[in-house]
Amino acid sequence: MRDMPMDMVIPGPFMMLVFAAMIIIPFWIIFTKAGHSKWLSLLMVVPIVNVLMLYFLAFSSWPVHKGTERK
């Protein structure tokens, strides 16, 4: 941080937290409604893992729909 101007020291990490929250909160709700653990939403900020989690969410059977699946 020695080369970074002081006006960027506080806003940078704060903005990272804001953007992380903007990603985590909607997926927290989606995973909960799907019947999966809401803590899986924390993986959405990890590169590569977030794409894998989207495929998991899209193609796995949701626990909330167990017993109501069409045949």
29-66 pLDDT, tens digit per residue, is 999 999 899 999 999 999 999 999 999 999 988 888 77
- Distance of alpha carbon 55 from alpha carbon 2, whole angstroms: 41
- Distance of alpha carbon 61 from alpha carbon 43, whole angstroms: 19
Comparing 6 with 39, which gets the higher pLDDT?
39
62: which DSSP letter?
P
- Distance of alpha carbon 50 from alpha carbon 21, whole angstroms: 14
- Claim: this prediction has a pTM higher than 0.75: no
Task: Measure the CA angle with vertex 8, ends 3 and 12; round to 5°.
Answer: 115
Return the closest-CA partner of residue 43 out of 61, 32, 58, 28: 28
